[in-house]
Amino acid sequence: MLTLYPPGRENLVPLLQEVQERHGYVSEEAVEALAAAIGISDNEIYGVATFYAQFRFQPPAKHTIRVCQGTACHVRGGRQVMEEFHHRLGVRTGGTTHDGEYELQRVACIGCCALAPTVTVDGEVHARVTSRKVRSIVGR
């Protein structure tokens, strides 16, 4: 299963990173396989993995929406844009829609302050987003 690093407690983080890179997330089955290979408990693996924000335990959504909440976006209505996404998608920040179509994330800065408020969908930047534009972005 894992080839870049030999199984060992000292390689747990790189092993978890490899699992996530291959599968998009760290599944329960992957945790069990790692635990057996390394000789530690599932709980120890979860203890390490949950310490780092980079690891996810659910499959990624088909589309990732990141709503900027940096200063420029906030001043120009970023909070209202986020609330509109909450309303349209029926999920809170960090959540995934029931159909697995969209995942909603809050980011501190996208780096497009002159285009505020900004949103990215699968890495594509949407500039000067308004509540009205949210509907066209998600089609809901």
Q: What is the pLDDT of residues 16-72, one digit of tens each?
A: 999 999 999 999 999 999 999 888 999 999 999 999 989 999 899 999 999 999 999
Q: How far apart are CA 121 and CA 117, in angstroms?
A: 14
> Which DSSP letter does residue 96 get?
B
CB neighbour burial string for 7-44, b if at least 16 within 10 angstroms, e if fewer? eeeebbeebbbbbbeeeeebeeebbebbbeebebeeee
CATH number for 63-138 (one of 3.40.1360.10, 3.40.30.10, 3.40.50.300, 3.90.660.10): it is 3.40.30.10
Q: What is the pLDDT of residues 76-89, one digit of tens each?
A: 999 999 999 999 99
Q: How far is CA 98 from CA 72, 87, 90, 94, 111, in A?
A: 32, 14, 9, 13, 30
Q: What is the mean pLDDT of residues 124-128?
A: 97
Q: What pLDDT score was predicted for residue 107?
A: 96
Residues of the chain with CATH 3.40.30.10: 63-138
Q: What pLDDT score was predicted for residue 140?
A: 72
pLDDT at 4 exceeding the cut of 70: no
CB atoms within 10 A of CB 45: 21
Q: Which one has a higher pLDDT value, 4 or 27? A: 27
Q: What pLDDT score was predicted for residue 10?
A: 87
Q: How far apart are CA 32 and CA 29, in angstroms?
A: 5
CA angle 116, 109, 115 (to 5 degrees): 20
Q: What pLDDT score was predicted for residue 2?
A: 58
